[in-house]
Amino acid sequence: MTDTVQETAVQENADPSQVGVGPPKRALGILSTVALVVAAVVSLFPFYYMVVGSLQSEPNSGVSGAFPNPGNLTLGNFSAIDDRIDLVTALVNSGIFTGGVLLCTLFFGVLVGYALARLQFRGRGIVFAMLLLVQVVPFQLLMIPLYVLIARDYGLSDNYLGMILPFAINSTAVFIFRQYFLQLPAELFDAARIDGAGEIRTLWSIALPLVRPAMLTAVLLTFIGPWNEFLWPFLITKDPAKQPLAVALANYISTVASSVANPFGAILAGAVVLAAPAVALFIAFQRHFVSTDLGSGVKG
């Protein structure tokens, strides 16, 4: 279940199509390379353009604007947006929101994922059915009633707890944990039980070390949710000091951008600030975030 295994699998799978390389196959190879390169350029160009645009002192939307021009470079857009939005506070808020969700998902998600995969208990079927139903019902239907419950009945508006609560345990992550625990050989657990190990010790010292790749997958998958979430924190936080970056930037785009000298530059600077941590984290961990992890989740 390590990535080396996965990489070899891919290599081997790639082999059959290379069998008997003739002229048409080579043409196809070139064609698929072209397709991949074009797709990569299309994927990355907006990010490149985002960075270039955020550094322009005068907006240049022409073709020449797509290339950095030393005479038209500035860091002023970053300070312009920082004047209106407290970027540090907003980043910290995003961090607290995302971190809270990650902690809850990892702790409680592993517990329930393990129980669903490895333990026989009454009501397991119902819990699993709910897990599936959650994925189908759109969050937006629950949004308004949730708002009333959390803001009014629990009094958690403008509060980190209120922000975190609806996302606290990511059901997709629970699903991935379950699939992983399910794949582990049953003998492991039987042996542990014969030795008289309790369920908590079995989980902690036998099962958990074996599902580390699933943990990373779940971390990255869970991270994307709250870090990018706009609608819920937008509703629940009205105090600018509590708003995560995604909300602060959206407010900035829709209301204050028109009053600065170079609104697009300022918007793009904010976009860079929002995108950078997520992209950096993904690149740092991408080796671990391999397709097999999700593949096993898909089959279930």
Partner 1 sequence: MLGRQPIGLLFSAPYVAFLLVVFAIPLGFAVWMSFHDFFFTAPGVAVPHPFVGFDNYRAVLSDPAVLSSFAHVGVFMLINVPLTVILALVLAAALNRAIRGRVFLRVAFYVPYVTASVAVVGVWLYLFNSGGLVNKVLGPLAPDPSWLVNSTWAMPLIALFVTWKQLGFFILLYLAALQNIPKELYESAATDGAGTWRTFWSITVPGVRSATGLVVLLAMITGANLFTEPYLFTGGGGPDGASTSPVLLMYQKGILQGNPDVAAAIGVILTVIVLIIGAVNRWISERGER
Partner 2 sequence: MTIRHPRILAAAAVAGSLLLAACGSSSGGSTAAGTTTGPITVWYSNNAAEIEWAKQAIAGWNAAHADQQVTGNEIPAGKSSEETIGAAITAGTTPCLIFNTAPAAVSGFQKQGGLVDLNTFADGASYIESRSGTDVAKQYQSADGHYYQLPWKSNPVMIFFNKKIFAKAGIDTKKPPLATYAEFLATSKKIVASKAAQYAIYPSPSADFYQPWFDFYPMYAAATGGKQLVVDGKSGFTSAEGMKVINFWKQLYADKLAGTEVYQGDSFAEGKAAMSTVGPWAISTYKGKVDWGVVPVPTPDGMAADQVHTFSDAKNVGLYSSCKAKGTAWEFLKFATSQEQDGKLLDLTGQMPIRTDLTTTYADYLKANPDYQLFADQAARTVEVPNVANSVEIWTTFRAAWTSSVIFGKTDPTSTFTDAATKIDQLAASS
Residues found near partner 2 in the complex (CB under 8 A)? 147-148, 151-152, 155, 157-158, 235, 238, 240, 251, 254-259, 263-264, 267
* Residues numbered 262-291 forming contacts with partner 1, rule: CB under 8 A: 264, 267-268, 270-272, 274-275, 278-279, 281-283, 286-287, 291
Q: Is 9 in the site for partner 1 (CB under 8 A)?
A: yes
Amino acid at 23: P
Among 71, 123, 185, 196, binds partner 1 (CB under 8 A): 123
> Residue 71's CB: how many other CB atoms inside 10 A?
6
Instruction: Please give, one letter per residue, the 3-state secondary structure of 131-186.
Output: HHHHHHCCHHHHHHHHHHHHHHHCCCCCCHHHHHHHHCCCHHHHHHHHHHHHHCCH
CA atoms 58, 63, 64, 67: torsion sign: positive
Tell me the CA distances in angstroms from 114 to 97, 167, 205, 252, one per residue in order: 25, 20, 13, 43
Token output for 235: 């509703």
Q: Is 185 in the site for partner 1 (CB under 8 A)?
A: no
15 binding partner (options partner 2, partner 1, none; Cβ < 5 to 8 Å by kind): partner 1
Among 111, 197, 208, 216, binds partner 1 (CB under 8 A): 111
Query: Least distance (Å) from partner 1 to the CB of residue 199?
Result: 5
- Tell me how far apart the alpha carbons of residues 119 and 177 are, in angstroms, rounded to a whole number: 14
Task: Give me the 211-250 binding string for partner 1, x by CB under 8 A, dash otherwise.
Answer: ---------x---x--xx-xx---x----------x--xx
Q: Which CB, 4 or 258, lies closer to partner 2? A: 258
Which distant-in-sequence residues (6+ apart) come within 8 Å of 261 by Cβ? Answer: 80
**Sole window of 26-34, 77-85, 95-103, 207-215 interacting with partner 1 (rule: CB under 8 A):** 26-34
DSSP state of 217: H
Q: Is 26 in the site for partner 1 (CB under 8 A)?
A: no
Is residue 162 a contact partner of residue 156, using CB atoms and an 8 Å limit? yes
Query: Least distance (Å) from partner 2 to the CB of residue 244?
Result: 15
145 binding partner (options partner 1, partner 2, none; Cβ < 5 to 8 Å by kind): partner 1
32 binding partner (options partner 2, partner 1, none; Cβ < 5 to 8 Å by kind): partner 1
> Residue 53's CB: how many other CB atoms inside 10 A?
23
* Residues numbered 63-92 forming contacts with partner 1, rule: CB under 8 A: 63, 65-66
- 56 φ, ψ (degrees, to nearest 5): -80, 135
238 binding partner (options partner 2, partner 1, none; Cβ < 5 to 8 Å by kind): partner 2
